[in-house]
Structure 1
Amino acid sequence: MKGMKRSHFCGDLSKKQVGEEVTLMGWVQRRRDHGGVIFVDLRDRFGIVQVVFNPEEGNQVFSVADELRKEYVISIKGKVRARPEGMINQELATGRIEIQAQDLHILDEAETPPFMIEDDVSAGEDLRLKHRYLDLRRKPMQDNIILRHKVKKAVRDYLDNNQFLEIETPILTKSTPEGARDFLVPSRISKGDFFALPQSPQLFKQLLMASGMERYFQIARCFRDEDLRADRQPEFTQIDMEMSFMKQEEIMELVEGMVQEIFAVADLEKPTEFPHISYQEAMERFGTDRPDARFGMELVDLSDIVADSEFNVFSGTVASGGQVKGINAKGCADFSRGQIDDLTDFVAVYGAKGLAWIKITEEGVNSQIAKFLSDEEIEEIIEKMEAKTGDLLLFVADNPKIVAASLGNLRLKLGQELDLIPEDEFNFLWVTDFPLVEWDDEAGRYVSLHHPFTNPKPEEIEKLEDNPEEVNAQAYDLVLNGIEVGGGSIRIHNSQLQKKVFDLLNMSEEEIEEKFGFLLEAFEYGTPPHGGIAFGLDRLVMLLAGLDTIRDVIAFPKTQSGTSPLTDAPSDVSHKQLDELGIEVEQEIELE
């Protein structure tokens, strides 16, 4: 590159530069020979421009151009000229001009890539992840990373303008497992002791409120050793916020303003409506606390209609404290028995023992359960579910959790299969008034619905001892298109109340002191009321980009099994490293 200095980016050139001499650098997208003239599409992060090499410009330059292959890294010097009218490329931003090359240097040669560096790639995800540095050369991937950058910048600018301070919290911290598993980090200096990678900066941001910082944020790296899926990674990024002296409504309003700024930098129409729905209403209508309200097919409670029915599957369920609910799959009365059996198998995954159905046809009601229901009951069901000829009514009878999970997921499945969900719509919902705790049969104790630092509603604190399941939390989740993108709450800032909640969760005095003693001590020195929220940056950018997986908005993600094909991590370490840490690894022996 001696003597060569880049003057422009490829995508910046237009007819305004015609006649100018420019120096460009980038990758060879493609090379074509036409009648003794070589055409090269030169690509950098900012675009593509056509470079022309003529033999008359000098045999040395032309002979070097003849050596060029895809993905060679080159620098060229040349003059910008307008393309002839018949040679304009309307699909290219620089399609009205080209560069007449005068000088050329190969900065690095390249092997043939294992897949094409093009917008649409047929390579499998494992191959793309193994060669992620090549995958990131593709424009769609670069656009995703650029969008991620813009979102983070918008967040920083907005929060800075609202008096927030960006403060880093520790990555090596104390293990306080409450929910997902921690990633543990052994200490060479303190053999037998372990740091943990943070699942969130929750405790530290509350300590920052006790420190008088008042408004904190961080684009925080977080780690959870849990099962993966399309919208989960073992390491992920949060937009983390905490505020002192602010009520729930004030925090939600501030967050809405931030979301609007994020949409603006993403070149999307700013959302103007952020309706509120209670947890109870969300579960009743949609079967989930993160409802997708872009389409109907809501759950309808029929328990009152069938409570005294002769159909014991329904009436017996209601008598034992269960529910009978249904959804109306409009226009699906032509579903075959095989299709309905497939739906029955689907709800069984969520614990449902069966799926009853009624078809409303031109000939009348067609159903395997019609003979067990009175004409009056069938008429009331049809009226309550607003059923018309051609509709398919689907029912689940079970305890409320199973009914919600099975019908809620069946609703989403049918919504997708029947193309009921508009793809270009962004639907926000605040879900509020969550229960503070719920009973966990497997653990045999109460567990927090959010986390144990969530403040109960003040008027319900007196119920903590005798009726904890009736206590609602000052918690709020922001849901976008059926995906939780942000979750927050007003926090407990009083040590006595915090101890009471810990006791409710069946934590011993020793456990409380060991895990959270430093937090409780901080509360003894005057801690302001505070609350906050954390956004999943990866999920949010995924939704803004219209993608189905967060892996496409992360530069170097892990696979669904939590491994990196690029670096082959996790991997073995040397015995010397293990000895220094005082660790011995048990080897699994396969028996024949």
Structure 2
Amino acid sequence: MNTENMYRNRTLDQIGEGDVGKEIKVSGWVENIRDHGGVSFIDLRDMYGVLQVVMRDTSLMEGITKEDCICIEGVMDHRDEETYNPKIPTGTVELEAHKVTILGKVYRQLPFEIQTSKETREDVRLKYRYLDLRNKKVRDNMIFRSQVISYLRQKMTEMGFLEIQTPILCASSPEGARDYIVPSRKFKGKFYALPQAPQQYKQLLMVSGFDKYFQIAPCFRDEDARADRSPGEFYQLDFEMSFATQEDVFRVGEEVLSSTFEKFAPEGYDVTPAPYPIISYKQAMLEFGTDKPDLRNPLRIVDVTDFFQRCTFKPFHKKTVRAIKVHANMSKGFHEKLLKFAQSIGMGGLGYLEVKEDKTYKGPIDKFIPDDMKGEIAEIANLEPGDTIFFIADKEERAALYAGQIRTELGNRLDLCEKNAYRFCYINDFPMYEYDSEEKKMIFTHNPFSMPQGGLEALETMNPEDILAYQYDIVCNGVELSSGAVRNHDMKIMVKAFEIAGYTEENLKEKFGALYNAFQFGAPPHAGMAPGVDRMIMLLRDEENIREVIPFPMNGNAQDLMCGAPGEVTEMQLREAHIKVRD
């Protein structure tokens, strides 16, 4: 039996100088055509590489256009030395074609040049994504993605985790983002939901006695797109552990992420070694103005609220005041541009002081600081000659937000941020609840299944807004990679926790019946997290938009321009699902 492939006996990465003089058969796409008058050249591309093909019999070129899929048979030869191409592995050899077969013809004009597709408008790229994926840079992102996911699976298995797939059709959850809902044909008026995360199922696996679970989990959320968030669906490395504390999860997160980033980071990049810094939510909001701090930026925010309540500067009176110290030369033009930025994000202004060589100040608010207090501000902010200190004043929440944005802008404008580094940290001790002024009630700030710090006693005796949860995030370079928690596995604590957020025990039974019932049969303490796979790859590939690392992404408006989703369905399909579309 002849087992030779009828289309090729080599892929282009398998060709080298050792093949000179041999007859070979290759297949791929026509990347480029060059006519040198009596001799024609083709650059043939497959998934693995590019090979120059020479056609001395120009009749072989008949009917061939760029991006045709073709099979070529011929004999390998050396290139002339002056035509060597050191940019490709096959740059010293070429194939002299004796036979060409067109396997797949191009019948329409290409919407863009494949080699420059990344410069094309995104909507056109996404409509013809199968062509965009022929671009080497785009294709390499997908190969890289596959390699990272393969490594994550290998790493988790080595660490004793069992890969288990959880359902895609599940019950709708009243918490979190909007669900994608799926109508039931068999049960009129009832709906499945696509999972926002495998949250309940992985907790039920712990109740089932599985000690360590993981999966590369598809998650579905009806959310708007951002640069670091794909609308509709995304993948996460979801894992859960029984008999585990927050610190146990931290160690697993550090091991898998550090090893992955060290293995796949670009050459010369430095990765935060374990253990990662642990920063409380409260500290993060004070020092960085965000719960997603970029630790490559050396600037820190200082609280000077108390100081300015004792000054005569009325715009800062009865407000939260944050300050950022910078040691850099700044022109008048720099201050004007920074003020414009501050106004563009909603700030009324941006006060500052410059520290002169004699440690006196100059700046718009110097005259409002009493002389006997000027040494105090220098001590609070550790000011030295050459420093400039900026002040941000507003209500506490907005002051933190604005200070964080000014910190980021200063770091970028002054080029202060560390280069070629991945800087990880944990953010923990998130508030369990916050007051929703629109709904006029307490709501969960994060995952409702988290264990409150202090347990039942805290829920029964403390102000809900003062209760912290065993919740934590992993942040890398200002991007939230993962969220997780120690889970609330105690039935009594769960009932009370949901009661504070306005749920009765009956609501709990109805909405989370599986967990409610399972936790009455000896649930172990358990904890976990779920680093985002797409975000990991986006960081490792230094891509600014997450869609660059997803094979078939939706656009920013949650549309699949290539296949036409969302689209209309037939009246019969609607009837079978018991659905009527309202005008």
TM-score (norm 2): 0.93
- SS of the aligned residue for 1:221 comes to strand
CA distance 1:419–1:568, change in 2 (3 Å): farther
CA distance 1:381–1:32, change in 2 (3 Å): same
- SS of the aligned residue for 1:40 comes to strand
- SS of the aligned residue for 1:551 comes to helix
8 Å contact kept, 1:83–1:96: yes
- SS of the aligned residue for 2:461 comes to coil
8 Å contact kept, 1:119–1:140: no
Q: Which residue of 2 aligns with 1:33?
A: 35
- Higher mean C-alpha displacement, 437-446 vs 472-481: 437-446
- Higher mean C-alpha displacement, 95-104 vs 410-419: 410-419
2:498 alignment partner, one of 502, 516, 541? 502
- SS of the aligned residue for 1:316 comes to coil
Q: Which residue of 2 aligns with 1:254?
A: 252
**Deviation digits for residues 10-62 of structure 1 (CA, Å, limit 9, x no counterpart):** 1332223223322111000001111311111000111111111112xxxxxx4
2-structure distance, mates of 1:194, 1:229: 28
2-structure distance, mates of 1:250, 1:231: 28
2:294 alignment partner, one of 292, 295, 298? 292
**Deviation digits for residues 176-227 of structure 1 (CA, Å, limit 9, x no counterpart):** 1212111111112212111111111100110111111221111111111122
1-structure distance, mates of 2:493, 2:433: 15
Amino acid aligned to 1:334? K
1:434 equivalent to 2:430? Answer yes
1:193 equivalent to 2:195? Answer no
Runs of 5+ unmatched residues, structure 1: 56-61, 318-322, 588-592
Q: Which residue of 1 aligns with 2:458?
A: 463
8 Å contact kept, 2:456–2:496: no
2:234 alignment partner, one of 224, 233, 236? 236
Q: Which residue of 1 aligns with 2:408?
A: 412
8 Å contact kept, 1:346–1:410: no
- SS of the aligned residue for 1:305 comes to helix
Q: Alpha-carbon deviation of 1:112?
A: 2.9
1:153 alignment partner, one of 142, 147, 150? 150
- Higher mean C-alpha displacement, 116-125 vs 139-148: 116-125
1-structure distance, mates of 2:423, 2:234: 24
Amino acid aligned to 2:273? T
Amino acid aligned to 1:205? K
Q: Alpha-carbon deviation of 1:470?
A: 2.8
- Higher mean C-alpha displacement, 164-173 vs 256-265: 256-265
Matches within 5 A, 1:45-444: 45-55=47-57, 62-110=58-106, 111-118=108-115, 121-232=118-229, 233-266=231-264, 268=266, 271-273=272-274, 274-317=276-319, 323-329=320-326, 330-335=328-333, 338-348=336-346, 352=347, 354-360=349-355, 365-387=361-383, 391-444=387-440
Amino acid aligned to 1:344? A
Could you tell me the percent identity over the aligned residues? 40
1-structure distance, mates of 2:426, 2:221: 25
Q: Alpha-carbon deviation of 1:171?
A: 1.2
2-structure distance, mates of 1:112, 1:92: 28
8 Å contact kept, 1:333–1:359: no
**Deviation digits for residues 60-102 of structure 1 (CA, Å, limit 9, x no counterpart):** xx41324321101011122222222211111122111111222
Q: Alpha-carbon deviation of 1:137?
A: 0.5
- Higher mean C-alpha displacement, 426-435 vs 538-547: 426-435
Amino acid aligned to 1:428? F
Q: Alpha-carbon deviation of 1:383?
A: 4.7
1:490 equivalent to 2:486? Answer yes
Amino acid aligned to 1:465? E
**Deviation digits for residues 354-376 of structure 1 (CA, Å, limit 9, x no counterpart):** 43233456897443333322234
CA distance 1:16–1:423, change in 2 (3 Å): farther
1:577 alignment partner, one of 573, 577, 580? 573
Amino acid aligned to 1:255? G
8 Å contact kept, 2:228–2:546: yes
CA distance 1:241–1:377, change in 2 (3 Å): same
8 Å contact kept, 2:117–2:125: no
- Higher mean C-alpha displacement, 158-167 vs 270-279: 270-279
Amino acid aligned to 2:211? E
**Deviation digits for residues 142-178 of structure 1 (CA, Å, limit 9, x no counterpart):** 1111111111111111111222222111111111121
CA distance 1:361–1:586, change in 2 (3 Å): farther
1:560 equivalent to 2:556? Answer yes
**Deviation digits for residues 411-461 of structure 1 (CA, Å, limit 9, x no counterpart):** 12332233333442111111222222222323322222321111123x464
- Higher mean C-alpha displacement, 470-479 vs 518-527: 470-479
**Deviation digits for residues 490-538 of structure 1 (CA, Å, limit 9, x no counterpart):** 1111111111111121212332121012211101111111111111111
Amino acid aligned to 1:272? P
1:445 equivalent to 2:447? Answer no
2-structure distance, mates of 1:384, 1:275: 24
8 Å contact kept, 1:11–1:49: no
8 Å contact kept, 2:342–2:406: no
- SS of the aligned residue for 1:465 comes to helix
1:7 equivalent to 2:6? Answer no
- SS of the aligned residue for 2:195 comes to coil
CA distance 1:427–1:465, change in 2 (3 Å): same
Q: Alpha-carbon deviation of 1:489?
A: 1.1
**Deviation digits for residues 121-150 of structure 1 (CA, Å, limit 9, x no counterpart):** 421111101111110110111111111111
1:19 alignment partner, one of 16, 21, 24? 21
8 Å contact kept, 2:452–2:458: no
**Deviation digits for residues 251-289 of structure 1 (CA, Å, limit 9, x no counterpart):** 211222211332254254665242222222212210111
CA distance 1:336–1:542, change in 2 (3 Å): closer
